Structure 1
Amino acid sequence: MIQDQRLEDRVNHASGTIKIAGKTVHRLGFGAMRLVGPHVWGEPADRGASVQLMRRAVELGVDFIDTASVYGPHVSEEIIREALHPYPEHVLITTKGGQTQSGPGSYAVLGRPEYLRQECVLSLRRLGVDHIDLYQLHQVDPSVPFEDQIGELKKLKEEGKIGAIGLNEVTVDQVTAARQIVEIASVQNQYSITERKHEDVLEYCAREGLPFISWFPLDIGALARPDSPLRGLAAQIDATPAQVALAWLLARAENLVPIPGTASMTHLEENIAAATVRLSPAQITELNALAS
């Protein structure tokens, strides 16, 4: 495994940088969903450990942190504030609205304009800020006119409550429709070495110069088995399967921003060290063939 006692001196900076919502951040970010309790519900078993994990991530060079009001609900945002407020100027914290959670793992989409506004205002309070640099629509609500959902985010931007607007789990057509209404700063869809259903969205974003944020980037599943090609390749370069999966994402496109999340300090440091992994063209070709 690629490790170093002075990990913070060299690793995340190796991932390269990208400009999102007016800030230049490193391309290997952090997804804060797993800071909370099991099934993304309630308090974590050890809140202090989650606070320390978040502080360690920033020490390691993480300056793009993704959360959402539904994580907990609300717990992830509160932990981020406890860990990092007042926030370092270079750190970009983005949150999302447009979903509800009524119990562990029980989600529903809710994109009514009044709810999006309420969630944005409450996120401002929980994060302890008067302005959210990047606010994302968590999911498009098919029961609400699309232009109403995007239009409300546009109003929040015009009021100065948010600086930039991002979209989650969207198609190319939805991105292009939203861009007819307001400037879109980023797109976040599920994407990993084994899950590439949004390949067309990634390619569109690459052409248009839009950052593409990859959630659940470590969906490596069966590829991490002892006999899998991913584990075999990882052994060849003294890395872990997770590091190889993240290195492949960083090599896949310059606008791609993986946001691996974890509740483990060991896994956090392992994930960040993936920025130093370099894959050869032949290895990338081999990994390209592993899509499910």
Structure 2
Amino acid sequence: MTEVTRAGTFELGDFPVTRMGYGAMQLAGPHVFGPPKDRNAAIAVLRTAVESGITHIDTSDFYGPHVTNQIIREALHPYPDALTIVTKVGASRGSDGSWNLAASAAELESAVHDNLRHLGLDVLDVVNFRVMFDVTAPAEGDIEAPLAALAQLQAKGLIRHIGLSNVTAKQIAQGRAMTEIVCVQNLYNLAHRNDDVLIDSLAEDGIAYVPFFPLGGFSPLQAEALNDAANQCGATPMQVALAWLLHRSPNILLIPGTSSVEHLRQNIESVNLDLPQDVLSSLDTIGSGKPQD
């Protein structure tokens, strides 16, 4: 058994993936724009992730743009049969690095073909529609038209499964009324727990929840509490935060990103971290969010 499989697997659509995955966003340049400083190091991280047993890689062609997917293809193509690559559409990058809405039917079709071309695939395993009504947080709005466009591309055989990112509970309900939704990707961590109720409801229906920014937005007091827990466990704060997420719910899939092989291995080691009950109780007091309606 590899370290990553100790955390178990989860059925993402019809793909069994390791709950410890890898997020490729940091393989691009600063601010997720342009090429990396060290392309060979980026390739080494990807190959180490797969060699370590990770079967879930999260990416998007708007990382770079194009850069991250091109590096994934160079490092891993032809892909192992067990590897599931999840990508995102719904945004584009300006020449100044800005993040822009790109959710028309034509833009989504172009994005799907860009992902296929740069990854070297004939069909995308999972495509998350990234909702961009507010770049920084979920915001209410109608997503029927873009989801209908993605469903048409799915019917054409270009996409196997559809997921959602940066969404509210109402948008998830709207999406599920239109097509099968296999995963939801939102901001969630020890300090930001607005999706607590949502995670539990998705778990009941066998839908994956994929949190991003596992250490983002901690206040100094919250960071101090996490550091104390890490010291008690003989681990890094990131390892404790990841271990807590794995403990939180069996439908949570992790995609921590890094451009360092050493940091990747530290992240993987978090699956071996057993958090004592007193540490779990202490960590549970960190969350400042309120359940989402």
Structures share a fold, TM > 0.5? yes
- Give how far 1:21 is off: 2.3
Rounded to whole Å, the distance in 1 between the matches of 2:197 and 2:104 is 28
Of 160, 165, 168, the residue aligned with 1:163 is 160
> Residue 117 of structure 1 corresponds to which residue in structure 2?
109
> Residue 225 of structure 2 corresponds to which residue in structure 1?
229
Rounded to whole Å, the distance in 2 between the matches of 1:160 and 1:60 is 31
Residues 53-110 of structure 1 deviation map (CA, whole Å, 9 limit, x = unaligned): 1101111111100001110011111111011000000010011111011146521222
Write the letter of the residue equivalent to 2:154.
Answer: K
> Residue 245 of structure 1 corresponds to which residue in structure 2?
241
* 2:174 is the counterpart of 1:177: yes
> Residue 5 of structure 1 corresponds to which residue in structure 2?
none
Of 7, 17, 20, the residue aligned with 1:28 is 20
Rounded to whole Å, the distance in 2 between the matches of 1:80 and 1:119 is 17
Of 93, 99, 104, the residue aligned with 1:101 is 93
Secondary structure of the 2:122 match is coil
- Give how far 1:224 is off: 9.2
* 2:262 is the counterpart of 1:262: no
> Residue 79 of structure 1 corresponds to which residue in structure 2?
71
Rounded to whole Å, the distance in 2 between the matches of 1:103 and 1:263 is 24
Secondary structure of the 1:185 match is strand
Write the letter of the residue equivalent to 1:287.
Answer: L
Aligned 8 A contact 1:224 1:241 in 2: no
TM-score, reference length from structure 2: 0.91
Question: 1:221 and 1:267, CA in 2 relative to 1: closer, same or farther beyond 3 A?
Answer: farther
* 2:275 is the counterpart of 1:279: yes
Question: 1:288 and 1:223, CA in 2 relative to 1: closer, same or farther beyond 3 A?
Answer: farther
Rounded to whole Å, the distance in 2 between the matches of 1:207 and 1:37 is 39
Aligned 8 A contact 1:111 1:144 in 2: no
Write the letter of the residue equivalent to 1:282.
Answer: D
Write the letter of the residue equivalent to 2:106.
Answer: E
Of 188, 191, 195, the residue aligned with 1:191 is 188
> Residue 212 of structure 2 corresponds to which residue in structure 1?
215
- Matched positions, count: 283
Aligned 8 A contact 1:39 1:104 in 2: no
- Give how far 1:264 is off: 1.4
Rounded to whole Å, the distance in 2 between the matches of 1:162 and 1:248 is 32
- Give how far 1:221 is off: 4.0
Write the letter of the residue equivalent to 1:279.
Answer: L
* 2:29 is the counterpart of 1:37: yes
Of 8, 18, 22, the residue aligned with 2:10 is 18
> Residue 54 of structure 2 corresponds to which residue in structure 1?
62
Rounded to whole Å, the distance in 2 between the matches of 1:104 and 1:273 is 37
Rounded to whole Å, the distance in 1 between the matches of 2:286 and 2:142 is 38
Write the letter of the residue equivalent to 1:139.
Answer: V
Rounded to whole Å, the distance in 1 between the matches of 2:206 and 2:220 is 31
Rounded to whole Å, the distance in 1 between the matches of 2:187 and 2:154 is 26
Write the letter of the residue equivalent to 2:26.
Answer: R
- In structure 1, the gaps of 5 or more residues are 1-8
Secondary structure of the 1:193 match is coil
Rounded to whole Å, the distance in 2 between the matches of 1:89 and 1:82 is 17
Residues 24-63 of structure 1 deviation map (CA, whole Å, 9 limit, x = unaligned): 1110111100001001000001111101111011111111
Secondary structure of the 1:257 match is coil
Rounded to whole Å, the distance in 2 between the matches of 1:204 and 1:103 is 40
Question: 1:103 and 1:122, CA in 2 relative to 1: closer, same or farther beyond 3 A?
Answer: same
Rounded to whole Å, the distance in 2 between the matches of 1:143 and 1:241 is 33
- In structure 2, the gaps of 5 or more residues are 134-138, 289-293
Rounded to whole Å, the distance in 2 between the matches of 1:275 and 1:44 is 28
Rounded to whole Å, the distance in 1 between the matches of 2:105 and 2:142 is 10
Residues 163-195 of structure 1 deviation map (CA, whole Å, 9 limit, x = unaligned): 000100111111111111111111111111112
Q: Supply the RMSD in Å over aligned alpha carbons.
A: 2.0
TM-score, reference length from structure 1: 0.92
Write the letter of the residue equivalent to 1:234.
Answer: A
Deviates more, 1:248-257 or 1:277-286: 277-286
Aligned 8 A contact 2:55 2:82 in 1: yes
Aligned 8 A contact 1:191 1:214 in 2: yes
